[in-house]
Structure 1
């Protein structure tokens, strides 16, 4: 997500909570453009390749829309303009429909899902870190920022809120520094992508900023979301609508220094309801925008007992919030059509055995694994395979739990998943 051009924050701490939230929402509404990356070596980037990866099934390697409607099934929504999109059942892994599923495209900040899935388990959330100037070096011009300041101390929990809510590249770079540096983090992300069988993905930066050669696909982004959602902390951060972020120290009337905070709001508009209706049952996951990628988004939502994942990359319609509108249409279609379509593929499981799954799988020509196992496990968060989602129902926090996708059991999400700041 590209939304501001300098590592500054407004004086939101001096505003009322309502005014601060409005300011955050207005900032989210007007993203600045990143400088275009060099694409001089791209060939015919306006069209998908005639043959793409067949991970997950042969049909997913074909260009164009892939869907198998049974009698009486609802037609796909009209007016879809995403260059690539995918609708999948989060629990079974069935791909209900897809369009250019394996087209390698710039991912923008949706790549932060892979960053989080890779790095989040390695850093305890209560660990504190004093930010050095070197931690913030190397960010691209126009990077989205949450407002991290050098010489101030933040917890890992604070920084992840900055990553998920404000898509803060500054928070990503600090967490990368805590993980041993950008180069090490990129290497680990690439290894983890390969372990997840996300073989369309090439990682150049941990934050998703436009760089030559950095690509992913709707299929891979959906794998990242599915893997990340196994982790309780990942679920917490991606479903948080608003929070308070630590600011600078200021003296009170008695001359005592006190650290202020300011409100931040999630840039996922289907979660917050900013400029588009909040989608009933939405529970994350991550949005993004850069000049080369256009708008990208992966979301997870529940209706009844069914949980769906939808990814949309680069809608060609120029209407405001189009990526969210098309995602909502695909969610609606998926929930209505799930029992009346034949799957056109599957979301494969991690590891070499995962590649054996999927209808009509043929792996000729697939890239080999450079790393048999990634540095970070694709398993659960150490909670015995169980995970929770937190929502507000009548003002009360509700916890729901279920076993993880590795055993293909149900993933309940609350109908309305919104975590609001409590103080």
Structure 2
């Protein structure tokens, strides 16, 4: 079974921690290792934001190398690369590395210029993709690279995460008034019996101010016939699914399963609206499997970490305010907080829609979930610490009719 990777795409405002150490944390060890960690948040709104993290380092005591992958051609796959540390920033070295192994920072603000840059990159890749280049191809390629260098002055490519971290630590503050699109990989790790999820950026780029903000992930969710729990639907207006995701485990040195709870958020569902109820049942039905095996289905997921706006009602009034309303001296809305009333701070992974499509020959979800080759025992994370039991996630601290239907689906459940 071919592995599908969990990725994210965040669009929003950048929020940089006020503390320099929390933003760019540099630590050294007795072994000579110097590690650089970068943390900042992407805000979908003032009440919903998620932190992303980048980490890179090098040894002051040992020889460093960059392990990467070369670009492939039409009939030849790319190969593993071992690049000397001193060569990692050289232009000719960066050109050798496949795009999916790079870290890209694009501070270009001119939309038209950005389109020209992307067109040049597309032309370059089309020529590079040929198995053999003619002299004319080589001349054209050199010309395109020169033009790209002249125009893409605010676009940087790195082949090691350390260099991207150092660059962003110095430059990101200058551009924080712009809206960004941040894309990358969702990764998991275990530490002392606890599980942690990290959003690891690979591409940061400035987008137009009117770009719709979102915090979305594409996740391949694994589950069993007993994973869905709707006993709290009537009370909490939520359906919980105790699912699992595959991620590389640094301790085991292989892909293993990590628990990942997701929810169907039915808070906006009008249960007297037949279409609303059908949509809710449609989402729930994708977890309805009869076999005893492990099934999986990719989903678009809304990453929510913040507080929802809730309706301001009479129960939110003080006794004096209730009397003022009862005597006709004031209206209910006169006492409503500016910007609306916020509910409790929560952290949830809200299902938006299943990705009912064929990703490759081994991953065809056109008809819904498919049974995987994994067994139930594979889902359990092997550790000496107590086995993790999924719980409801909560933090106590800080252009067509079809398109319209999808927008409403998004609004209902995200």
- Shorter-chain TM-score category? under 0.3
TM-score norm. by structure 1 comes to 0.24
| Larger Rg, first or second structure (1 or 2) | 2
Structure with higher RCO (Cα < 8 A, 6+ apart): 1
TM-score norm. by structure 2 comes to 0.24
